[in-house]
Chain A
Amino acid sequence: MLSIKNLHASINGKEILKGINLEIKPGEVHAIMGPNGAGKSTLASVLAGRELFEVTEGEVVFEQKDLLDLSPEARAKEGIFLGFQYPIEIPGVSTVNFMKTAVNEHRKYKGLEPLKAADFLKLMRDKKNLVEIDSKLTNRSVNEGFSGGEKKKNEIFQMAMLEPKLAVLDETDSGLDIDALRVVANGVNKLKNAENSTVVITHYQRLLDYIVPDVVHVLFDGRIVKTAGKELALELEEKGYDWIKEELVK
Chain B
Amino acid sequence: MAKEEQDKILNEVTQSDYKYGFSSDIDTDSIAKGLSEDVIRLISSKKNEPEFMLEFRLKAYRHWLTMKMPEWAHLDIPPIDYQDIIYYAAPVQKAKLESMDDVDPEIRATFDKLGIPLDEQKLLSNVAVDVVMDSSSVKTTFKEALAEKGIIFCSFSDAVQDHPDLIQEYMGTVVPYRDNFFAALNSAVFSDGSFVYIPKGVRCPMELSTYFRINAENTGQFERTLIICEDESYVSYLEGCTAPMRDENQLHAAIVEIIVKDNAEVKYSTVQNWYPGNKDGLGGIYNFVTKRGICEGVNAKLMWAQVETGSAVTWKYPSTILKGDGSSSEFYSVAVTNNHQQADTGTKMIHIGNNTKSTIISKGISAGKSNNSYRGLVKVVKNCEGARNFSQCDSLLLGDKCGAHTYPYLEVHNKSAKVEHEATTSKIGEDQIFYCNQRGISTEDAIGLIVNGYAKEVINKMPMEFAVEAQKLLAISLEGSVG
Chain A contact residues, CB within 8 Å of chain B: 48-52, 71-73, 76-77, 81-82, 84, 87-94, 97-98, 100-102, 104-106, 109, 114, 117, 141, 158, 162
Known contacts A71-B437, A84-B435; is-contact A104 B454 (Cβ 8 Å)? no
What separation, in Å, do the CA atoms of A76 and B431 have in the docked complex? 16
What separation, in Å, do the CA atoms of A223 and B68 have in the docked complex? 70
A-B contact pairs, 9 of them (CB 8 A): A71-B437, A71-B442, A72-B434, A72-B437, A94-B453, A104-B7, A105-B439, A105-B445, A117-B3
Q: Are A105 and B440 in contact (CB under 8 A)?
A: yes
Chain B contact residues, CB within 8 Å of chain A: 3-4, 7, 426, 429-432, 434-443, 445, 449-450, 453-454, 456
- A81's nearest neighbour on chain B, judged by CB, is B438
Known contacts A114-B3, A114-B7, A117-B3; is-contact A90 B440 (Cβ 8 Å)? no
Interface centre among B3, B7, B435, B438 (most CB of A within 10 A): B438
Going nearest first, the 9 A-B pairs with the smallest beta carbon separation are A92-B453, A72-B437, A93-B453, A88-B435, A76-B440, A102-B439, A105-B440, A92-B454, A77-B440
The secondary structure that dominates the B interface is: helix
Whole-angstrom distance between the Cβ of A168 and the nearest chain B Cβ: 10
What separation, in Å, do the CA atoms of A97 and B10 have in the docked complex? 13
Q: Which residues of B contact A141 (CB under 8 A)?
A: 453
Q: Are B449 and A93 in contact (CB under 8 A)?
A: yes
Q: Which residues of B contact A84 (CB under 8 A)?
A: 435, 438
Q: Which residues of B contact A109 (CB under 8 A)?
A: 440
- B424's nearest neighbour on chain A, judged by CB, is A91
Q: Which residues of B contact A72 (CB under 8 A)?
A: 434, 437-438
Q: Are A97 and B449 in contact (CB under 8 A)?
A: yes
Q: Are A158 and B439 in contact (CB under 8 A)?
A: yes
Whole-angstrom distance between the Cβ of B138 and the nearest chain A Cβ: 39
What separation, in Å, do the CA atoms of A97 and B437 have in the docked complex? 15
Q: Which residues of A contact B434 (CB under 8 A)?
A: 48, 50-51, 72, 88
Q: Which residues of B contact A105 (CB under 8 A)?
A: 439-442, 445
Interface centre among B426, B434, B439 (most CB of A within 10 A): B439
What separation, in Å, do the CA atoms of A88 and B453 have in the docked complex? 15
Q: Are B440 and A102 in contact (CB under 8 A)?
A: yes
- B453's nearest neighbour on chain A, judged by CB, is A92
Which residue in A92, A97, A117, A162 is a CB contact (below 8 Å) of B439? A162
Interface centre among A82, A84, A90, A141 (most CB of B within 10 A): A90
Which residue in B440, B445, B454 is a CB contact (below 8 Å) of A91? B454
What separation, in Å, do the CA atoms of A11 and B441 have in the docked complex? 25
Q: Are A48 and B454 in contact (CB under 8 A)?
A: no
Q: Which residues of A contact B426 (CB under 8 A)?
A: 91
Q: Are B453 and A91 in contact (CB under 8 A)?
A: yes
